[in-house]
Amino acid sequence: MKILFSIADLQPESGGPSRSVSALAAAVATLGNEAEVLALRYGSGSNAPMVPPSPVQTTLVPTSGRQRFRCPPGFAAALQDSIGASGEGRGQRAEGGGRKAEAGNQRSEIRGQTTVLHDNGLWLPTNHATARAARRNNIPLIISPRGMLTPWAMRFHGFKKRLAWWLYQYGDLQSAQVLHATSVQEAQEFRALGLTQPIAVIPNGVGLPRAESREQRAESRIQKSEVSPLIPDLRPPASDLRPRSSGLRTVLFLSRLHPKKGLLDLVRAWAAVKGKAESREQRAESRSQKSEVSAQRSENGSQMSASDLRPPTSVLSFQSGWRVVIAGGDENGHREEIEAEIRKQKLENSFQFMGEVADEQKWAVHGSADLFVLPTQSENFGIVIAEALACGVPVITTRGTPWEDLVTHRCGWWVELGVSPLVAALNEAMQLSDAERQAMGLRGRKLVEENYTWSAAAQKMVAVYQWMLNAGPKPEWVMES
C-alpha cells in the first residue's frame, strides 16, 4: 500500500501541520507501507524544511514565494508523476453526477487500488490541486483539515474563506472519501458545516523524550545566555536567571507568535496575577514587621524604627520568583503587539523572548519549565501541549483545545477563554509546591505514553487507509453520519 501525503510546505515556521505530517509519514512507513510526501520548497531565505527520514520519499517542488491564488505548475506535475508511478488509474475519471456523488460512490469503484492520497490543510491552491488529481485519477482521498475548520479559523480572514468555500473548498471536501479529525470536538465542527462523509477521529502523536530525573531537569534550566530579554536596558539582574535550585521558576509558552494563540490575554493575566501576588507579599511583610517589633519590645523594652526592619529571607518575591519565557517564531509582526502590551502593563522584567526554537532543542526548553501555558483561541489538537506533557510539565490551556484530559488525568488546567479564567489557573498553579507540580507532570507523561504516540496514531491511520481500499473492516474510530 502506498500513501501519498500532500501538504503546502514542511517549513517549521508554518506550525504544527509540518511536524505532524512528517512524523505521521515516518510512522506509517515503519509499519511496512510505502510513504511519500509532496510539498513546496521556498527560496534560500527560508528555514530548512522538516523532511521525514528514510524510507519516506520526499519531493519538494521549488517555488519563489508563498502561494496565493495559483498552484505552482511543478506541484501538479509532481503529483501526477507520483500517482502514475504507483500504477494507479492515471487519466481515469470517476463516474457520477457531481462531486458529492463521487464521494458517495468511491468505495465501490476502487477495489484493487493500492494508493491513497492524504491531503493536509485547506484553502491553498496545492490543496485544490490534490483534490482535482484525486478526482481525475479516481484515487481515494482523505483530507486532514488540521484545525482550519474551527469557528475561530473560519472567522479569521472570513470574507476570503467564505468566497473560497463556495468556489471550490466545500466541493473539494465533499469529494473526499474520508475526513480526518484529531478530536471529537473537531469532528463535530465538520458536521456543523454540513460535511456528511465518514470521519476518522485519530489524535496526533508526539515523540517521547528520554525521561529525566529531578536532578537532571534542574541542570537543564534555561540559562541567561539562551534567553534574550524583551528590552536590553531593562535586563533582569543575573541573579534572576538562576536554575530552579536557587528559586527562579519558569512559565513557558512555545508556539507560533500568532493572534490566535492568546498571548495578549497571557500578558494581561500576568499583570493581574503579579498585582495579587505583590499585595499578598506586602501584607505578609507588614505582618512580619509587626511581629518583629513586638518581639523586640518584649526582649528589651525599646522601640525600633520601621526603616531598620527587613522582610525575612525566606520570603520569595513574585518578581524574583517567576518569569514568563515566550519561545517561537514571529508571524506577521505579532511580537510587536505583544511587546507593546508588555510595556503598557510595565512587565518588562517578567517576560523574555527566545525566538524560534529548533526541534532538536525544544525538549531541553520544555524540560527547563515548571509550567506550560497555551492560552489559545482555537486548536484542533495542540501538539505543543502533548510535547509539554511528554516532558513532565503540567499545562494550562483553554477550551479552545480538545484537552479535557488535563482535568481527567489531573495533569493541568482546561479553562474557559479569556483573561479571568487564565488568572485563576495561573494563581492556583503557581501556589502549588514544586513537588505537587512535578507529580502533575508525571501524570501527564504517563497520559502521553499510553495514548498519544505516533506509533499508535499510524496504526489507526493505516487501518483507515485499508478500509478505504476495501482491504479491511471499518475501524471503530470512524464516525459515520
pLDDT digits (tens, 9 = 90+) for 76-128: 999 999 998 665 544 333 333 333 334 444 443 444 569 999 999 999 999 99
Residue 155: which residues within 8 A CB-CB, separation 6 or more?
A: none
Q: What is the mean pLDDT of the chain?
A: 83
**Phi, psi for residue 35 in degrees, rounded to 5:** -125, 135
Sheet of 141-144: strand order equals 57-62, 34-41, 2-9, 115-120, 141-144, 178-181, 199-201, 478-479
Mean pLDDT of 379-405: 95
- 400 pLDDT band, cuts 50/70/90, is very high
**CA gap 416, 422 in Å, rounded:** 8
Peptide bond between residue 55 and the one before it cis (omega within 30 degrees of 0): yes
pLDDT at residue 85, as a whole number: 67
Contacts (Cβ under 8 Å, ≥6 apart) of 235: 229
Question: Is there a contact between 82 and 128 (Cβ–Cβ < 8 Å)?
Answer: no
pLDDT, tens digit (0-9, with 9 covering 90-100), for 182-224: 999 999 999 999 999 999 999 999 988 876 544 445 444 444 3
pLDDT of residue 72: 85
Burial bucket for residue 179 (CB in 10 Å: 0-12, 13-18, 19+)? buried
Query: Cβ neighbours of residue 127 under 8 Å, at least 6 residues apart?
Result: 6, 8, 119, 121, 143, 169, 172
Structural domain boundaries in the chain: 2-205+454-479, 214-285+318-451
Tell me the CA distances in angstroms from 157 to 56, 65, 71, 192, one per residue in order: 35, 20, 20, 19
pLDDT of residue 47: 81
CA dist list (Å): 89 to 45, 92, 130, 143: 38, 5, 15, 20
> Is residue 147 within 8 Å of residue 186, measured between CB atoms?
yes
The position carrying cell 492560552 is 375
Note whether 204 and 182 are within 8 A (CB).
Answer: yes
Of residues 437 and 102, more confidently modeled: 437
pLDDT (0 to 100) of residue 45: 64
Longest dimension (CA), the chain: 102
Task: For residues 250 and 426, give the distance between their C-alpha atoms in angstroms, rounded to a whole number.
Answer: 12
CA within 13 Å, CB half, 300: 6
Q: What is the pLDDT of residues 300-343, one digit of tens each?
A: 554 434 334 333 333 345 555 899 999 999 988 999 999 999 99
- Of 424 and 298, the structure prediction assigns the larger pLDDT to 424
Residue in the structure block whose three cell numbers are 473537531: 186
Class of domain 2-205+454-479 (CATH, top level): alpha beta
Q: What's residue 117's pLDDT?
A: 98
Question: 374 pairs with which residues across the strands?
Answer: 397
Looking at CATH, the fold of the domain delimited by 214-285+318-451 is given as Rossmann fold (3.40.50)
Cα(458)–Cα(204) distance, integer angstroms: 9
Q: Do the domains spanning 2-205+454-479 and 214-285+318-451 agree at the CATH topology level?
A: yes
End-to-end CA distance of the chain: 27
**What phi and psi values does residue 146 have, to the nearest 5 degrees?**
55, 45
Q: What is the pLDDT of residues 121-150, one digit of tens each?
A: 999 999 999 999 999 999 999 999 999 999
pLDDT of residue 448: 95
Q: Lowest-confidence range among 355-359, 385-389, 455-459?
A: 355-359
Q: Which residue has the cell 504507483?
A: 86
Residues 4 and 83 sit within 8 Å (Cβ to Cβ): yes
